[in-house]
């Protein structure tokens, strides 16, 4: 996987931070709600992996375009996945959540193994929707 997205290569790359998530995954939708609730400075924008623009990004990065096992964080042209994406996000949230960035000291293969275990079971544990998340009127400006 290429870990860089040239800002001129895609319309979403112009944003400082975009989280691309599985829009039908209830776990992922809960994570988006949590992030919005703890991001009072509105640092993050959101888009679903099922959308056409996200599919273009996945293709350009040579990542699967279905059967998602990760979400993406696009940050200043860099692409982060798995536990690295989670840690970079919590580091920027309000409250005590940045404390969890200390998890960066855990070797990435171990962090990613835990991440993939959760990703494999997320539908089983929290289910999935038939359609992608529709933002509320208050959230609409946060979605690309």
pLDDT above 70: residue 8: no
Is position 136 within any domain? Answer: no
Is position 34 within any domain? Answer: yes
Is position 49 within any domain? Answer: yes
Q: Percent of the chain at pLDDT above 90? A: 67
Kindly provide the b/e burial profile for residues 66-99, where b requires at least 16 CB atoms within 10 angstroms of the residue's own CB.
eebebbbbbbeeebbbbbbbbbbbbebbeeebee
CATH code of the domain covering residue 109: 3.40.30
**Chain CA centroid to CA 52, Å:** 16
pLDDT in tens, 68-94: 888 999 998 889 999 999 999 999 999
Rounded Cα distance, 39 and 94, in Å: 6
Residue 15 is predicted with a pLDDT of: 83
Structural domain range at position 54: 7-130
Residue 88 is predicted with a pLDDT of: 97
Rounded Cα distance, 53 and 50, in Å: 9
Average pLDDT, the chain: 90
Instruction: Determine the average pLDDT of the residues in 96-102.
Output: 96
Secondary structure (DSSP) of the chain:
---B--GGG-GGGGSSEEEEE-TTBHHHHHHHHHHHHT-TT---EEEETTSHHHHHHHHHTT--SSS----EEEETTEEEEHHHHHHHHHTTSSTTGGGGGGGGGS-HHHHHHHHHHHHHHHHHHH-B-SS-----TTTGGGB-
Token pair of 74 as six digits: 């696009």
Residue 60 is predicted with a pLDDT of: 86
pLDDT in tens, 26-69: 999 999 999 999 999 999 999 999 999 999 989 988 888 988 88
What is the β-pairing status of strands 72-75 and 45-48?
Answer: unpaired
Confidence of residue 5 (pLDDT cuts 50, 70, 90): low
Is position 139 within any domain? Answer: no
For the chain, how many structural domains are there in total?
1
Is position 140 within any domain? Answer: no
Confidence of residue 1 (pLDDT cuts 50, 70, 90): low
pLDDT in tens, 106-138: 999 999 999 999 999 999 999 998 888 888 888
Q: Percent of the chain at pLDDT above 70? A: 93
């Amino acid at each position: 996987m290429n870990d860089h997205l040239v800002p001129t290569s895609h319309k979403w790359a112009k944003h400082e931070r975009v989280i691309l998530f599985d829009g039908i995954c209830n776990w992922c939708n809960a994570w988006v709600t949590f992030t919005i609730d703890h991001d009072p400075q509105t640092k993050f924008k959101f888009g679903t992996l099922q959308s056409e623009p996200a599919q273009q990004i996945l293709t350009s990065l040579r990542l699967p375009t279905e059967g998602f096992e990760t979400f993406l964080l696009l940050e200043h042209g860099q692409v982060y996945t798995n536990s690295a994406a989670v840690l970079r996000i919590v580091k920027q949230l309000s409250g005590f959540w940045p404390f969890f960035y200390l998890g960066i000291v855990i070797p990435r293969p171990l962090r990613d193994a835990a991440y993939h275990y959760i990703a494999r079971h997320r539908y089983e544990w929290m289910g999935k929707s038939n359609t992608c998340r529709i933002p509320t009127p208050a959230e609409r400006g946060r979605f690309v």
